[in-house]
Amino acid sequence: MDPREAMIGEIEQDARETARCTGREALGTEVLAALRRVRRAGFVPEVEERSAWLNRPLSIGHGQTISQPFVVALMTDLLELAPEHRVLEVGTGSGYQAAVLAELAEKVFSVEIVPELAERARLALAREGYGRVHLRTGDGALGWPEEAPFDAIIVTAAAPSIPPDLVAQLRPGGRMAIPVGEPWGEQSLVLLRKEADGAVTRRTVLGVSFVPLTGERAFPRDGGTA
């Protein structure tokens, strides 16, 4: 079987096996099509290229990873993106998640705190045809206030609490997918929704394991938004 299709098959199997928690027995066809189109090998170090189509996380250096494709697909699906949407990604990493988002949304803004990873992601995104993704180096927990509000926000590292700056930059009616929990401890993928009146609701989706979100605003003194 083609390695790309084998990966998609494993993602579909994972979706069925976690449906009781996620409420999604099948992921959106547009999301799976986006994962088919994005060449994951273009976003991993050369030494990992042979493993690029495996449904597992891979090291990208600097203590960071490229997420498991199933997790990328699930988090993207939870955002329920539309072609006109503007999306903020916190934690560019390899650039792979940003490329998937760019297949589905009008504009993608991504923030990476590690300068070396930000530059590597910029080059990879341009090489793979996603040069229109907007990148910034900095503390992602601060968001990107000049470009707010966003229809969706995705955070690709675990925070002990939900950064309040990100909640403030979410458009009413928008969604945020974020892993919440202690570094290297128990973590949960959380789906946050901001209602039309500004009220915020949250739902725990699935147990996950992410590298920790770094930066001063990732650990607000007031504890952030629970």
189 - beta bridge partners?
Answer: 179, 206
In the predicted structure, residue 226 carries a pLDDT above the cut 80: no
Per-residue model confidence (pLDDT) at position 184: 74
Known catalytic membership, residue 51: no
In a domain, 224, yes or no: no
Q: Which of 51, 59, 67, 110 is catalytic?
A: 67
DSSP type of residue 115: H
In the predicted structure, residue 209 carries a pLDDT above the cut 90: no
The structure tokens listed for 6 are 């084998």
Per-residue model confidence (pLDDT) at position 216: 56
Q: Round the average pLDDT of the chain to a whole number and report it.
A: 92
In a domain, 226, yes or no: no
Instruction: Report the alpha-carbon distance of residue 37 to residue 65 in Å, rounded.
Output: 21
In a domain, 122, yes or no: yes
Structural domain count, the chain: 1
In the predicted structure, residue 62 carries a pLDDT above the cut 70: yes
The number of beta carbons lying within 10 Å of the beta carbon of residue 155 is 28
Domain of 19, in residue numbers: 3-218
In a domain, 30, yes or no: yes
Instruction: Report the alpha-carbon distance of residue 144 to residue 47 in Å, rounded.
Output: 33
In a domain, 225, yes or no: no
Backbone angles phi, psi at 91, to 5 degrees: 100, 80
In a domain, 147, yes or no: yes
Of residues 98, 101, 43, 47, the one with CA closest to residue 77: 101
In a domain, 223, yes or no: no
Please give the torsion angle defined by the CA atoms of residues 114, 60, 99 and 196, in that order, rounded to the nearest 10 degrees: -60
Query: Which one is predicted more confidently, 91 or 184?
Result: 91
* CATH code, 61: 3.40.50.150
In a domain, 103, yes or no: yes
In the predicted structure, residue 54 carries a pLDDT above the cut 80: yes
Per-residue model confidence (pLDDT) at position 1: 78
Cβ 203 vs Cβ 191: under 8 Å: yes
Per-residue model confidence (pLDDT) at position 112: 96
Q: What average pLDDT does this structure show over 192-219? A: 86
Instruction: Report the alpha-carbon distance of residue 25 to residue 13 in Å, rounded.
Output: 9
Of residues 163, 122, 167, 133, the one with CA closest to residue 149: 167
Per-residue model confidence (pLDDT) at position 90: 97
pLDDT in tens, 125-141: 999 999 899 999 999 99
Of residues 43, 35, 40, the one with CA closest to residue 60: 43
